[in-house]
Structure 1
Amino acid sequence: MDTIRSVLVPIHREGWKFIAIFAVVTLVLFWVAEPLGWLGVILTCWCTYFFRDPPRVTPVREGLLISPADGVVQMIERAVPPEELGMGSDARQRISVFMNVFDVHVNRSPIDATVMAVAYRPGKFLNAALDKASIDNERQSLRMKLNNGKEIAVVQIAGLVARRILCEAREGQSYKAGERFGLIRFGSRVDVYLDDGMVPLVATGQRCVAGETVIAEDGATEQPRTGEVR
């Protein structure tokens, strides 16, 4: 039963129209030439797989920041949050999680917080793994305030293949850690800018699971982590 559940996971509502388009094109390809139809079947299965939206078990201890995206920690470094959020010009610790086209692309809130500002900025579609993608690429940014007054920024960044950022968050809306707030199609990146006192607890190259992997902690006393490929 667990194996079946791991395969037959819920599909994000944003995906059904694309799955339908892929299925119709597949039928046309079968009518044109059967071998092309089987290629369409493969692509339709991939489209269905891409839009999966499995449930996640989120750690709920106060102060924990959870990964907003499935993927690999691309970089951990200090950077200035997007200027359109009005969070100042001081550099903050930034954790970047890169999603490839096979990752779940549903994005989740890193922590219990209220959305203070939502800002969209058009831009390029460079490879999201590049550092300059955070500056040049199309992005959707959230400024979020915690109950203790601290603030973080969560930034959805379009990638080389991605052409659509879906952000359902609105100013004044409150989220619990792990709650869904958006989606990016197809392959992209999510950056989290931390406030003072928040310590990264992941290492570059580490794989994260949205809504489950702890990426940082507010008030942590341990040193930032490093990792090795073993």
Structure 2
Amino acid sequence: MIKFHKEGYKIIVITFIIAIAGILLAENFIDINWLVKAIQVIILGFVIIVLQFFRNPKRVTNLDDNVIIAPVDGKVVVIEEVEEPEYFKDKRLQVSIFMSPINVHVTRYAMSGIVKYSKYHPGKYLVAWHPKASTENERTTVVIENKTIGEILYRQIAGALAKRIVNYAKEGDKVVQGTDAGFIKFGSRVDVYLPLGTKVNVKLGDKVKGGVQVIAGK
């Protein structure tokens, strides 16, 4: 059975209402049969796109405090040493994962630990792969700490189509690796900032699976 994320319930209901209304209007007010069929196919395609976007597949995470798992599904687009200016204010290893509209958009905790920092930043809606997206777009920044890895930071970044970021992490929360950390609606990116010297288990261009795939570790 397909599961859907709770953040999509309202949009899914509205989509079905619009779809049913559109089909009924087409059947009752358009006399050209092929045009009615075409409209019905377009509406059905739209419904399928919305449903697949909000799907929330069950993922079984093998809990391990020694590794960092992918927080989202998508493609690895950045692996580099950078200056992290918001929280650490020093050099960190950045791994960025880009999500297209067809990817699962659930954000999952990359490791277990305590939430040390959680902040929302309003901003622009540059395309998610733009170099300035991580500092200028709408985004949330979350830092988690455990005794094995130390502190890691992940940043949910809105893209050109994403108009809402949902972040469940609150400072002081004890979180479990692989569980639901939030959602980003319609195309986006997540940056993960790791301690220097962390072993990275992925390479540029790799497609990763959130909540399951190990992307780095001790």
Tell me if both proteins adopt one fold, taking TM over 0.5 as the criterion. Answer: yes
Which residue is equivalent to 2:176? 176
Report the CA distance between 1:95 and its aligned residue.
0.3
- Calculate percent identity across the aligned residue pairs: 37
Which residue is equivalent to 2:11? 18
Q: Are the counterparts in 2 of residues 159 and 189 from structure 1 also a CA contact under 8 Å?
A: yes
The alpha-carbon distance between structure 1 residues 14 and 37, as it changes in their structure 2 partners (threshold 3 A), is: same
Kindly report the root-mean-square deviation, in angstroms, between the aligned alpha carbons of the 2 structures: 1.5
Query: Hey, which bits of structure 1, 4+ residues long, moved more than 4 A?
Result: none
For residues 136 and 202 of structure 1, the distance between their equivalents in structure 2, rounded to whole angstroms, comes to 26
For residues 168 and 40 of structure 2, the distance between their equivalents in structure 1, rounded to whole angstroms, comes to 35
| 2:118 alignment partner, SS class | strand
Q: Are the counterparts in 2 of residues 162 and 187 from structure 1 also a CA contact under 8 Å?
A: yes
Instruction: Count matched residues.
Output: 208
Report the CA distance between 1:148 and its aligned residue.
4.0
Q: Are the counterparts in 1 of residues 158 and 188 from structure 2 also a CA contact under 8 Å?
A: yes
TM-score (norm 1): 0.86
For residues 149 and 127 of structure 1, the distance between their equivalents in structure 2, rounded to whole angstroms, comes to 31
1:59 aligns with 2:52: no
Which residue is equivalent to 1:42? 45
Question: What is the one-letter code of the residue matched to 1:15?
Answer: G
1:138 aligns with 2:138: yes
Q: Cα deviations across residues 11-42 of structure 1 (Å, max 9, x unaligned)?
A: 11111111111111112212332433432222
Question: What is the one-letter code of the residue matched to 2:69?
Answer: I
Q: Are the counterparts in 2 of residues 27 and 37 from structure 1 also a CA contact under 8 Å?
A: no
Larger Rg: 1 or 2? 2
Which residue is equivalent to 1:215? 215
Larger deviation, residues 37-46 vs 70-79: 37-46
Unaligned runs of 5+ in 2: 28-35
For residues 149 and 79 of structure 2, the distance between their equivalents in structure 1, rounded to whole angstroms, comes to 24
Report the CA distance between 1:141 and its aligned residue.
0.7
TM-score (norm 2): 0.90
Q: Aligned to 2:22, which of 29, 32, 55?
A: 29
